[in-house]
Amino acid sequence: MGLLNSIAGPADLKRLSSAQLAELAQEIRTYLIDSVSRTGGHLGPNLGVVELTMAIHRVFDSPHDTVVFDTGHQSYVHKLLTGRHDFATLRKQGGLSGYPSRAESEHDVVENSHASTSLSWAIGIATGRKLRGETDRHTVAVIGDGALTGGMAWEALNNIAANPDLPLIVVVNDNERSYAPTIGGMADYLASLRSSRNYENVLSWGKRLLHRTPVVGRQMYDTLHGVKKGLKDIVSPQGMFEDLGLKYLGPVDGHDLAAMETALRRAHDFGGVVLVHAITEKGHGYQPATNDEADRFHAVGVINPETGLPLELSGRSWTDEFSDELLDLADEREDIVALTASMLIPVGLSGFAKKHPQRVFDVGIAEQHAVTMAAGLSFAGMHPVVAVYATFLNRAFDQLLMDCALHRQGVTFILDRAGVTGTDGASHNGMWDMALVSIVPGLRLAAPRDGAQIRVALREAVDVADAPTVIRFPKGTVAEPIQAVGAHGSVDILRESEQPDLLLVSVGALASVALEVAEKLGAQGISVKVVDPRWVLPISADLVELTGQAEAVAVIEDNLVASGVGAALAACLRGEDDPRPVWTYGIPKEFLDHGSRGQVLERIGLTPDTVATSLTTRLRG
């Protein structure tokens, strides 16, 4: 931390010598490995952008010049270089965000952490500055090759190409990976650009040979020089970017600080739009993060920094339950196919991909395309299962509504990380999905209370051939199975009461909370019946019928309370002129700061004590 302690902002970086810069880069890597291994976080992406980020801050003047990171998980180095050195609080409540945060620093701009948006932000910022006459301010967008697979990035590039005079620099951080290796036509194209370095190296070798053995060297050099352009046009046609009207520089070694600075200074001085293609290695400088298990280091929990192995063995996850059941279904039914958007490993499709590689489609960071492709697969006689994080379904709502639901296509959506996710902050909480899908005609949504119910719901979902189905579950270790003590039609009864004062409706993973609330109320002489609708949207007639047994109804859900199951149930009762009160407990309509899942749930009042106290007051008030 010797040199790093002296860096309070980008200006301090510019006074360092070449030797000091190399020392600082090593310090940063050592610090990141030590710190993130204690807190968890995005390790591999940040180790890969140390020199690249240093070069950006040496060439440009943040915050006068604006740096936009896409998706922002690779901004740890940027945080360090802008004076934020207390990584002991990283992703903890009240501490540093795992993404850029305007509340933390004037150097941070975009904090939504959803991929492929940086170029749209950048052209907006650059255009706004131009309109205001601020022509001396540059905008720099740092986008990975994974994010460049997103359609929104290409919409922005198309628009950027029509405005070539903007002082806008696009830095493509090409490490061949998002979570896993980047695939698709764009990945193949960037690979062809990387190959151009080989031809430059051979040509350089020919020049050296010319000086050592003039006759042979001259023949070799002339031959290479004569065919170089033709070879590069075939093998590395960077003309695609240039044909769009974008000046292209690269490929540049993203770990060669001097080379990166040179390329960025050329881009800075060009006076218009420039695309700088930087080749980096995810996890660079940390052997465990660059071996065969490199994908595991995209985001890590607490690990041993020397070995890279987890210090705590986690239990079986909700994702594991889905993954195993889907694999069983795929073995039984040849029509089952799976799609995801660069989330193959995190959403549990890697096992399926290994066993049935022709039936799994990772389309890149392109949720809209994934959902409409799924509609097409359904039309062709397959049953697609689209697995994404709950927060990313937001990006494909139109396709869910118009391509799947309107056309009555049987597509199953698996929403991982639903509800409060915690440490990744506001943009990653999966709190909007039920509010969005609740307005989709014909759609059915299940919220399993445990791993066994995930398996049951998945089998039921893939049998629906004429409408979309959704299954949502949270992040983390799966809950212990909760056995129903009875059933009322499609609704499971988790706690019975013959003449209940309160019908408590439990949604999904909050079943254990609901049961604990019932125990607390029962200790005060309030009788409570706890039910789990299983398929929670639309509201079933069985659930409505059950409400008639109690004086009041309460719903507890890990979802936006204003537009969730409770709100839908209340609307059903109002439609039947039922005056029975429906009290709802869920996530408030606000963006939630990062913290552990437990801390966030406590902050918003979704704990047994808080809910029980509130219900006691309401029932006796």
Residue 297 predicted with pLDDT over 90: no
- Give the pTM: 0.83
Longest dimension (CA), the chain: 102
73 marked as part of a ligand binding site: yes
Instruction: Respond yes or no: is residue 282 known to be catalytic.
Output: yes
CB atoms under 10 Å from CB of 310, counted, come to 14
pLDDT by residue (tens digit) across 70-94? Answer: 988 889 999 999 999 988 889 888 8
Q: Which of 367, 444, 534, 557 is catalytic?
A: 367
From 83, 115, 82, 84, select the one nearest 97 (Cα to Cα). 84
Helix (H, G, I), strand (E, B) or coil at 599: helix
113 marked as part of a ligand binding site: yes
Average pLDDT over residues 265-284: 92
Token digits of residue 277: 């293609």
146 marked as part of a ligand binding site: yes
**Is the Cα torsion angle 399, 400, 405, 408 positive or negative in sign?**
positive
Q: How many angstroms separate the Cα of 615 from the Cα of each of 477, 527, 552, 597, 621? A: 29, 12, 10, 23, 9
pLDDT by residue (tens digit) across 280-291? Answer: 988 888 888 787
Q: Mean pLDDT of all residues in the chain?
A: 88
pLDDT by residue (tens digit) across 511-563? Answer: 999 999 999 999 999 999 999 999 999 999 999 999 999 999 999 999 999 89
199 marked as part of a ligand binding site: no
pLDDT at 181: 63
Could you check whether 4-297 and 487-620 share the same CATH topology? yes
Token digits of residue 300: 């890590």
Residue 198 predicted with pLDDT over 50: no
Pairing between strand 486-488 and 502-506? unpaired
**According to CATH, what is the number of the domain 318-472?**
3.40.50.970
Question: How does 207-228 read in b/e, with b if 16+ C-beta sit within 10 Å?
Answer: eebbeeeeeebeebbeebeeeb
115 marked as part of a ligand binding site: yes
Instruction: Respond yes or no: is residue 367 known to be catalytic.
Output: yes
Q: Which CATH class is domain 487-620?
A: alpha beta
Question: How many CA atoms does the CB half-sphere of 315 hold within 13 Å?
Answer: 8
Average pLDDT over residues 407-427: 91
pLDDT at 205: 46
What are the φ/ψ torsions at residue 199 (nearest 5 degrees)? -70, -40
Helix (H, G, I), strand (E, B) or coil at 63: coil
DSSP structural state of residue 400 = I
pLDDT by residue (tens digit) across 322-363? Answer: 999 999 999 999 999 999 998 899 999 999 999 999 999 999
Helix (H, G, I), strand (E, B) or coil at 408: coil
Q: Which of 395, 444, 449, 529 is catalytic?
A: 395
Q: Which CATH class is domain 4-297?
A: alpha beta
Domain locations in the chain as residue ranges: 4-297, 318-472, 487-620
pLDDT > 90: percent of the chain: 64
pLDDT at 476: 87
Helix (H, G, I), strand (E, B) or coil at 41: strand
Residue 229 pLDDT class (50, 70, 90 cuts): very low
| Rounded distance between C-alpha atoms, residue 107 and residue 31, angstroms | 21
pLDDT at 399: 96
**Is the Cα torsion angle 92, 43, 16, 275 positive or negative in sign?**
negative
| Rounded distance between C-alpha atoms, residue 490 and residue 205, angstroms | 74
Residue 422 pLDDT class (50, 70, 90 cuts): confident
Helix (H, G, I), strand (E, B) or coil at 133: coil
